[in-house]
Structure 1
Amino acid sequence: MMRQVLPLVVLLSVLFVALFSSTGSSEETDLPAKDKFHLFLLVGQSNMAGRGKVTPDDQVKNPRVLMLDQQGKWVPAVDPMHFDKPKMVGVGLGRTFGFEVADSSPDITIGLIPCAVGGSPIRSWEPGAWDAPTKSHPYDDAMKRAHKALQSGQLKGILWHQGESDSRPEQAEVYDQKLRDLIARFRKELNAEDVPFIIGQLGKFEDNPWNEAKTQVDRAHQNIAKTDDNVLFVPADGLTHKGDKVHFNAQSYREFGKRYAKAYLEFVEESNVE
């Protein structure tokens, strides 16, 4: 009897994994006209990639919110979207951001380009830089994926959440200039001088007070947004972690995605008025 049951159990397990995986061989989705396909680059470290618990609702598909999967195909955006650390990745802020922006403009389709790398310090986001834990080149890989995506649509925003790995005295001291250099590099490489660069605040958790270095990184985030009209800062007040004092929980990621979207939509509205 066991010899007959085991193969069926194995088969069902394989099918479940294939259905759940976001990096599977999904068929590519038909795309809209290039000017109606609005693209957003998702970059940074683990709190951009997402580490929240995935539920069935997080895998509901919307034909107007797509993501560029690991194979470079445009498929419906479902969590987990990122693939930097497959055993850890989960719900992030990107999918909710995409849904909110899509809801605001029924004639466009949103294309999300997930490129975040968990644990990556800002020095990993330089040309040629190697991230040993994930065996990847964060900046170079992101640029390859972005250029591929730009064949199909128009870049409308760059979403950034990073800084935890640089919240150490020596790294924090040079963080402001490194982030300014990174923004300039993205803009030049992607011909995106007027595209908003949206920075999310590091987690502010009551049971894990900031040290001086993290305060310095936050100061850099806010100062850059104050001195560059195309840089937006999104606060993280009231958001909670999932129990590890580092990563937001799924509900907070969804709320954060709404805040990113609100900042972006207000920027677009103000730009149109001007």
Structure 2
Amino acid sequence: MSLRFAPLSLLLLFSLSLLVVAAEPETVKLPPKEKFQLFLLVGQSNMAGRGKVEAQDKEANPRVLTLNKKGEWTPAVDPIHFDKPGIAGVGLGRTFGLEIAKTDPEITIGLIPCAVGGTSIERWVPGAYDPATKTHPYDDMLPRAKQALEAGTLCGILWHQGEGDANPARSKAYEKNLTELVERLRKELDAPEVPFIIGQLGQFPGREWNENTHAVDDAQRHYTETHPHAAFVSSDDLKDKGDSVHFDAASYRELGRRYAKAYLEMLPQK
């Protein structure tokens, strides 16, 4: 009887092996270093993305890649962040990458997702620990960024954060902490003139801004107005996903387009 069913058993084993192979991340051939433009994505949950993933967010583009949790370059399909598995969703990064890729058919975009939901800016310093995610946001980001730089060229740093500092205890120190963070990143990554782009906090019904939210917003605006190679991106008219905290998927995509527009406007005119 065992001989009679042997072919079926072999067929099942063969099918399972195909499933295992299919589950492996798609390997990609990287372009020359000068054609591989890298962008570091840092901040808290609105950089990581919490939008509902749809079919369009799963469409791979061979010229828009992401550095996954294992440190492998794979096609950028949402969610690209992994700070909170099962919660991370559509963010602004993938759309940003697609928009930049459109501008030059010879370049490939590499996204380096490092945002951690719920983190105040005080978690983005060397040695700081985030108990909620059991991570060290800055210390985990740095080796990932340096690994990526072995393959490509850092062209921009995208920052969306501030909800965690919109309170009396932290808002007054926000600009000082932001200035120190940018200086540290520029030094650590040898990026003195790389664009640093800040996205505005969400303006959502049900979560009206108070004096602390305005203080963070003012600090972010003031930083970009008084420092070179920095830009501020508006969140005007964007919508939340119903929680008064996170953008919805369509708004994340629009935010990605706004970041891309800001970045392209900072480049020297050809």
Q: Secondary structure of 1:31's partner?
A: coil
Q: Secondary structure of 2:138's partner?
A: helix
CA deviation profile, 1:27-66 (whole Å, cap 9, x unmatched)? 3311000000000000000000000000111010000000
Q: Secondary structure of 1:86's partner?
A: coil
Per the alignment, residue 112 of structure 2 pairs with 113
Per the alignment, residue 4 of structure 1 pairs with none
Per the alignment, residue 5 of structure 1 pairs with none
Contact 2:201-2:235 within 8 A present in 1 as well: yes
Q: Distance in 2 between matches of 1:87 and 1:73?
A: 20
Per the alignment, residue 197 of structure 1 pairs with 196
CA deviation profile, 1:118-175 (whole Å, cap 9, x unmatched)? 0001011000110010010100111010000000000000000000000001100101
Give the aligned residue type for 2:43.
G
CA deviation profile, 1:87-111 (whole Å, cap 9, x unmatched)? 2100000000000000011110000
Deviation at 1:202, TM superposition (A): 0.2
Q: Secondary structure of 2:197's partner?
A: strand
Per the alignment, residue 244 of structure 1 pairs with 243
TM-score, length-normalised on structure 2? 0.91
1:91-240 equivalences under 5 Å are 91-240=90-239
Give the aligned residue type for 1:185.
R
Deviation at 1:199, TM superposition (A): 0.1
5+ residue gaps, structure 1, are: 1-7
Q: Distance in 2 between matches of 1:47 and 1:101?
A: 20
TM-score, length-normalised on structure 1? 0.90
Q: Secondary structure of 1:78's partner?
A: coil
Contact 2:205-2:244 within 8 A present in 1 as well: no
Give the aligned residue type for 1:254.
R
Q: Distance in 2 between matches of 1:236 and 1:104?
A: 24
Give the aligned residue type for 2:170.
Q
Deviation at 1:207, TM superposition (A): 3.2
Per the alignment, residue 259 of structure 1 pairs with 258
Per the alignment, residue 33 of structure 1 pairs with 32
Q: Which runs of 4+ in 1 moved over 6 A?
A: none
Identity among equivalent positions (%) equals 58
Give the aligned residue type for 1:147.
K
Contact 2:121-2:178 within 8 A present in 1 as well: yes
Give the aligned residue type for 2:257.
K
Number of residue pairs matched by the alignment: 255
Deviation at 1:206, TM superposition (A): 3.3
Deviation at 1:211, TM superposition (A): 0.8
Q: Give the root-mean-square deviation of aligned CA atoms.
A: 1.8
Give the aligned residue type for 1:198.
I
Give the aligned residue type for 1:143.
L
Give the aligned residue type for 1:57.
Q
Q: Distance in 2 between matches of 1:139 and 1:61?
A: 29
Q: Distance in 2 between matches of 1:187 and 1:261?
A: 20
Q: Distance in 1 between matches of 2:56 and 2:178?
A: 35
Q: Distance in 2 between matches of 1:222 and 1:267?
A: 16
Deviation at 1:208, TM superposition (A): 2.0
